[in-house]
A and B are shown apart, each in its own frame.
Chain A
């Protein structure tokens, strides 16, 4: 009996030790497989429920039709940050995958810290027939999302999302308002007030997650700039005016609830808030759970101005090191940007297609858009897309956090818009120095 116990313990110890020492076997070192195909790695962040299935499907399809290249898709947990960390480790080991997804907020960090090839350079060098691929198929403001400060094309936009205004038509009708919803932010305020007075429900909820994406859309559409020449400049006259409208709706009219993001979306879906300003990525949630006549319309503009909408999502960049890998990388990327692949990507993830000609094409999204009309709002406003501001340098994230802090203070009524924004702008500029 005693011997048995000892034996058992011994086995247990062995198991623990071997589990700790076990090394993951990777295929990274393998550059070509038995069939002579070039093997490349594609790093993505899409978990099973966030488009991971579509990634696998696309990769499988590509591998089946390519005679020269085999792609291995590698999932990186913890979104774009997780991928950056893994890429760091890989780079430290002197290796690199061929294609990676880079979130917009990591654009500058990626460009400054990693080796990559501009897609146009690879095209020019090896694929002269694709010379005009980028300019032919992408809007110039969309391409600009993936450009560095000096205008160099670092990657190609792939996953795109923009904010839209979801509306509860039943509530708008009940309040005697135009069921097509407001066109401008000034109208949003009036609509909300009327809704509050007529129905007792809230008028609008503007998303409040842990980022300043929607705030940027609101402010920059009014002509403010989050950053000018590396300095925070959002506390301009236009910026304060835009923020004031939001604060007034929350504090003065009480027609906009001050809620965390999930509760805000939930209250719209329950029919207690008539309009919801949030990302198009929430479309399937809103669409499948709302019990009323729901629609999505384009982001409101400011009277006489055109909207400027920050893009959420990621780009694809080529990090392959040698010629064969780079060539194979572009071959795969070109496949991913084909009309069919982009259409699949949109259907699987809810992102807006980054390239032209997908929405109308028979083999593209024509049928899908007929069924999911709300998607159109996001596609139609693609010409207003601007880069999502990330504050430069190591203190960038802290700067973001300061903006979130002041949002809580302003909407909580503990500080005036002007005072809050000016103080925050100053603090951020001190940090950025």
Chain B
């Protein structure tokens, strides 16, 4: 009975305005999120080259192809390596930076904030082209400087492992600033009295960080953690596309780039769609784990 009345209440005179105001964004969501998602599921059961007027129904063949191809596991492996490196570069490091700049440093705080945030304004395509030049292992400035010390730069764009690391580095150049500013704001909001009290008690900095700052800013921390994984993988797409096109021999490809590659380079939309759906499933599982185990320990101020 009570459930029924709340159901009726939901559509009372006050609420219609809320729905009305939500309508435009729901419309956009439906057009650009839900519909493509449903269409992707649909396409994953067909063999289609994007140009031909007919699509051939192949059932689960696309999924079977992907799951039996050793390349796919290679690519999913890369995806997780990217996640691991990006988590360090774009979540752990900015966390420490934000803490140091807010609580340890006394001067030039404004400058550091500005300088670190700056690259976030610049297009990653531009950044990628810039880094292709700066990090050119034969003739780029970095190679020249290393040359002064008798060091030879590895030809990273053609070497397994290195290529993932350098592409992550380029991505973090762009993403770092935003994550840093968000974490900085959160750490800055922690009550100063707490910190001062700890300092008076001679608590070492590393304990202040781990036992006070980290738990008290964990709500923002978890946001940055997730955004690093989700957005990071999408941002990595740009340098992959501009610099290596997934090479050498898929060593720098990740799940998102490979879905693009299958669809828009090889025109195998079915494979691409199936791969996207599988990627989506993996991320859903990750998200589920996160909600189940991590979310509990998070401190929300309000």
Select one of B24, B51, B245, B266 contacting A84, CB under 8 A: B51
**Contact A258–B51 (Cβ < 8 Å):** no
- Give the residues in chain A near B51, CB-CB below 8 Å: 81, 84-85, 88, 109
**With A and B bound together, what is the CA distance between A16 and B132 in angstroms?**
40
**With A and B bound together, what is the CA distance between A398 and B265 in angstroms?**
9
Chain A: interface size category: 35 or more
Q: Shortest beta-carbon distance, A41 to chain B, in Å? A: 20
**Contact A12–B24 (Cβ < 8 Å):** yes
**With A and B bound together, what is the CA distance between A56 and B215 in angstroms?**
63
Question: What total of chain B residues lie within 8 Å of the partner, measured CB to CB?
Answer: 36
**With A and B bound together, what is the CA distance between A251 and B155 in angstroms?**
13
Q: Would A398 and B138 be within 8 Å (CB), given that A13-B24, A16-B24 are in contact?
A: no
**Contact B136–A405 (Cβ < 8 Å):** no
Q: Would A88 and B53 be within 8 Å (CB), given that A13-B24, A405-B249 are in contact?
A: yes
Q: Would A259 and B137 be within 8 Å (CB), given that A85-B50, A85-B51 are in contact?
A: yes
Interface of chain B, helix or strand or loop or mixed?
Answer: loop
**Contact A270–B31 (Cβ < 8 Å):** no
Closest to A201 in B: B138
Task: Provide the B1-28 mask, 1 if CB < 8 A to any CB of A, else 0.
Answer: 0000000000000000100110110011
Kindly identify, within residues 123 to 140 of chain B, every residue whose CB is under 8 Å from any CB belonging to chain A. 129, 132-133, 136-139
A408 contacts B by Cβ under 8 Å: yes
Task: Provide the A245-286 mask, 1 if CB < 8 A to any CB of B, else 0.
Answer: 000000000000111101100110011110000000000000
- Give the residues in chain A near B265, CB-CB below 8 Å: 210, 397, 401
**Contact A260–B139 (Cβ < 8 Å):** no
**With A and B bound together, what is the CA distance between A334 and B146 in angstroms?**
58
**Contact A259–B158 (Cβ < 8 Å):** yes
Q: Would A405 and B250 be within 8 Å (CB), given that A13-B24, A88-B51, A397-B266 are in contact?
A: yes
A412 contacts B by Cβ under 8 Å: yes
**Contact A262–B132 (Cβ < 8 Å):** yes
Q: Would A397 and B53 be within 8 Å (CB), given that A258-B158, A259-B137, A404-B247 are in contact?
A: no
**With A and B bound together, what is the CA distance between A425 and B19 in angstroms?**
60
B36 contacts A by Cβ under 8 Å: no
**Contact B138–A267 (Cβ < 8 Å):** yes
A9 contacts B by Cβ under 8 Å: yes
A416 contacts B by Cβ under 8 Å: no
**With A and B bound together, what is the CA distance between A88 and B49 in angstroms?**
12
B244 contacts A by Cβ under 8 Å: yes
Q: Shortest beta-carbon distance, A378 to chain B, in Å? A: 26
Closest to A205 in B: B138
- Give the residues in chain A near B21, CB-CB below 8 Å: 9
B174 contacts A by Cβ under 8 Å: no
Q: Shortest beta-carbon distance, A392 to chain B, in Å? A: 14
**With A and B bound together, what is the CA distance between A13 and B24 in angstroms?**
6
B209 contacts A by Cβ under 8 Å: no
Kindly identify, within residues 92 to 146 of chain A, every residue whose CB is under 8 Å from any CB belonging to chain B. 92, 109, 113
Q: Would A270 and B24 be within 8 Å (CB), given that A260-B243, A398-B268, A404-B247 are in contact?
A: no
- Give the residues in chain A near B155, CB-CB below 8 Å: 257-259
Closest to A202 in B: B138
- Give the residues in chain A near B138, CB-CB below 8 Å: 202, 257, 259, 263, 267, 270, 272-273
Closest to B50 in A: A85
A291 contacts B by Cβ under 8 Å: no
Task: Provide the B122-164 mask, 1 if CB < 8 A to any CB of A, else 0.
Answer: 0000000100110011110000000000000001011100000
Kindly identify, within residues 1 to 44 of chain A, every residue whose CB is under 8 Å from any CB belonging to chain B. 6, 9, 12-13, 16-17, 20
Give me 12 other A-B pairs in contact (C-beta within 8 A), A109-B51, A260-B158 excluded: A6-B20, A13-B23, A16-B24, A16-B27, A88-B52, A259-B138, A262-B129, A266-B132, A272-B139, A397-B266, A405-B250, A412-B248
A-to-B contact residues, CB < 8 Å: 6, 9, 12-13, 16-17, 20, 81, 84-85, 88, 92, 109, 113, 202, 210, 257-260, 262-263, 266-267, 270-273, 394, 397-398, 401, 404-405, 408-409, 411-412, 414
The 3 closest A-B pairs by CB, nearest first: A408-B248, A270-B139, A408-B249
Q: Could you name 23 residue pairs across A and B whose Cβ atoms are closer than 8 Å?
A: A6-B20, A9-B21, A16-B28, A17-B27, A81-B51, A88-B53, A109-B51, A113-B52, A210-B245, A258-B158, A259-B136, A260-B244, A263-B136, A266-B133, A272-B139, A273-B138, A397-B265, A398-B266, A404-B247, A405-B249, A411-B158, A412-B158, A412-B249
